[in-house]
């Protein structure tokens, strides 16, 4: 396998070599289900879905874990404000996240553990840290990780302890902490919190700290050492730094590669509920086709900041229409066939979407180069242009080849219009109806143009062509007849 990935811990693009040949374990930090998902939450879901598909194209068997944090300070506060049981509030928003993932064609994880389901494992993890001298008990119910017991603290984000201490919270809100940077593994139950939002431990009744949850779930489902851990860039510190520290101190190898996607911004500002600039998934899915949103999240390189705006939606909608329009027109002409079976590229050992598919070499090279999806998507558009030309020239063999290439590449990106969920009659229905309506209207205008030319009314014929051009439709006269395409 020739894949290289940017490892956030080393700051370098490194050749990816699985811990066990042919098998890859991935842990993606999932949602804290306190509120509705927004576009910033969806980016890591799509990024890691593409990574998973690409690894499977390379013949790897992937165990993919995406957790759900269903117990948290904010969940308790928001549930209380709404008058809901905390667990019902968490379940409600977990379903909203799942619906958004499904709408964007994100495949379900191999396992999706909830934090509340692994409390016994967390208790055992804390006991191990205390025994090894890396954690201590504070007031009844509180357990803290001793940051100074780990010499390499800050290594994931390349920060020194003294620099981190400068911005540390030294308020008296946790007077039982020995050091300002020490973080809670377990939080004592508070008088104003629900009685069922706490569990018994040898150190008192309470609930888990955020960082402990992920270390515990990663170890339970992927083992003491696994291949890839990742999520949004905002999780690097303190969450992932703390995860790594406590896991290494427990004696576990933990993640061998760290992969982080960059932010989604709006008017240059990172998506944030506190700033009120969230683009909620449910709203966006009413405004745009789900495939268009996935295209936006896929076409940008995962380590580049993605600026989201109305212009972004407009451009992506036009691009998706060109791609999906070609695929449907080509399939009507030569049959849908199998994605990636056209030959002329590099064969994959097998995997998701396009088993044993043959993909263009430039596409493979781009994906192997730290998932360079902008280059990969450009290769898709090049193949679409070739395919449209072949369609208008009635070169069916070339159409068949282009269709196979395009579908093979799109399968890797999770955007094949003829595969689920886009071809199930729901997600792709609007696009299909729009394509049919557009074809009927353009054909009618071209018929009127042909009639005008037959009558030597060239002024009317030219006017029709100009009107179509103004609408973004290119008309070309060829020996085989008139052909048109979206510009």
Average pLDDT over every residue of 399-415: 96
Cα separation, 221 vs 243, in Å, equals 15
pTM of the prediction?
A: 0.84
* CA pair distance 293, 43, nearest whole angstrom: 10
Between CA 482 and CA 426 the distance in angstroms is 33
Please give the Cα distance from 253 to 247 (Å, whole number).
Answer: 7
pLDDT at 259: 98
DSSP 190: -
Q: Exposure of 454 by Cβ count < 10 A (0-12 exposed, 13-18 middle, 19+ buried)?
A: exposed
Q: Where are the domains of the chain?
A: 4-261, 434-487
Give the Cα separation of 413 and 351 in Å (integer). Answer: 12
Question: Which two structure tokens, joined as six digits, stand for 282?
Answer: 């449910």
* Least confidently predicted of 33-47, 185-199, 270-284, 368-382: 270-284
3-state secondary structure of 127: helix
433 pLDDT above the threshold of 60 = no
Average pLDDT over the chain reads 89
For residue range 94-134, list pLDDT tens digits in order: 999 999 999 999 999 999 999 999 999 999 999 999 999 99
Contacts of 317 (CB under 8 A, 6+ apart): 288, 289, 292
What pLDDT is attached to residue 21? 96
How large is the average pLDDT for residues 21-50?
96
Which of 142-151, 165-174, 466-475 has maximum average pLDDT? 142-151
Given a cut of 70, whether residue 452 has pLDDT beyond it is yes
Phi first, then psi, for residue 308 (nearest 5°) are -105, 130
d(CA 428, CA 410): 15
pLDDT value, residue 486: 64
pLDDT band of residue 276 (cuts 50, 70, 90) is low
Tokens 């049981």, located at residue: 85
3-state DSSP call for residue 381? helix
The model's confidence at residue 477, banded by pLDDT at 50, 70 and 90, is confident
Give the DSSP per-residue string, 450-487.
HHHHHTT-HHHHHHHHHHHHHTTEEEEEETTEEEEEE-
pLDDT in tens, 323-344: 999 999 999 999 887 776 655 5
Which band of pLDDT confidence, cut at 50, 70 and 90, is reported for residue 480?
low
Q: Which range is least confidently modeled, 34-38, 250-254, 356-360, 381-385? A: 356-360
pLDDT value for 277: 57
As a CATH number, domain 4-261 is: 3.40.50.620
Q: What is the pLDDT of residue 339?
A: 75
């Amino acid at each position: 396998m020739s894949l290289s990935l940017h490892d956030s811990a080393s700051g370098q693009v490194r050749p990816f070599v699985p811990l066990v040949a042919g098998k890859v374990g991935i842990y993606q930090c999932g949602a804290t289900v306190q509120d509705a998902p927004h576009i910033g939450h969806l980016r890591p879901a799509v990024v890691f879905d593409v990574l998973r598909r690409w690894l499977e194209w390379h013949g790897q068997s992937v165990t993919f874990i995406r957790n759900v944090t269903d117990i948290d300070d904010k969940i308790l506060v928001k549930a209380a404000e709404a008058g809901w049981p905390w667990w019902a509030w968490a379940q409600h928003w977990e379903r909203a996240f799942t619906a958004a993932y499904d709408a964007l064609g994100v495949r379900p994880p191999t396992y999706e553990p909830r934090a509340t389901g692994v409390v016994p494992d967390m208790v055992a993890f804390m006991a191990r840290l205390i025994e090894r001298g890396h954690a201590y008990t504070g007031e009844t119910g509180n357990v803290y990780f001793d940051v100074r017991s780990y010499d390499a603290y800050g290594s994931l984000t390349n920060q020194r302890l003294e620099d981190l201490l400068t911005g540390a919270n030294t308020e008296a809100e946790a007077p039982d902490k020995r050091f300002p940077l020490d973080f809670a593994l377990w939080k004592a139950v508070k008088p104003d919190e629900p009685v069922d939002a706490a569990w018994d431990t040898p150190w008192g009744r309470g609930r888990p700290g955020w960082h402990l949850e992920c270390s515990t779930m990663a170890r339970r489902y992927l083992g003491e050492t696994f291949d890839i851990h990742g999520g949004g860039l905002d999780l690097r510190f303190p969450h992932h730094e703390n995860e790594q520290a406590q896991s290494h101190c427990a004696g576990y190898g933990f993640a061998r590669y760290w992969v982080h996607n960059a932010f989604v911004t709006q008017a240059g500002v990172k998506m944030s509920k506190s700033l009120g600039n969230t683009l909620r998934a449910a709203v966006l899915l009413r405004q745009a086709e789900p495939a268009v949103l996935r295209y936006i999240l896929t076409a940008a390189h995962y380590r580049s900041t993605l600026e989201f705006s109305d212009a972004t939606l407009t451009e992506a909608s036009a691009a998706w229409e060109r791609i999906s329009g070609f695929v449907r027109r080509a399939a009507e002409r030569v049959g849908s066939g199998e994605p990636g079976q056209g030959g002329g590229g590099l064969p994959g050992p097998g995997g998701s979407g396009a088993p044993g598919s043959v993909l263009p070499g430039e596409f493979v090279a781009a994906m192997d180069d730290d998932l360079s999806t902008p280059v990969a998507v450009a290769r898709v558009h090049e193949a679409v242009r070739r395919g449209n030309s072949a369609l208008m020239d009635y070169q069916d063999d070339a159409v068949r080849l282009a269709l196979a290439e395009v579908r093979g590449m799109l399968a890797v990106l999770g955007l094949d219009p003829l595969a689920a969920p886009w071809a199930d009659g729901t997600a792709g229905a609007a696009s299909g109806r729009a394509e049919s309506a557009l074809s009927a209207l353009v054909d009618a205008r071209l018929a009127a143009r042909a009639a005008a030319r037959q009558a030597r009314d060239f002024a009317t014929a030219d006017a029709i062509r100009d009107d179509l051009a103004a609408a973004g439709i290119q008309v070309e006269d060829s020996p085989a007849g008139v052909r048109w395409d979206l510009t």
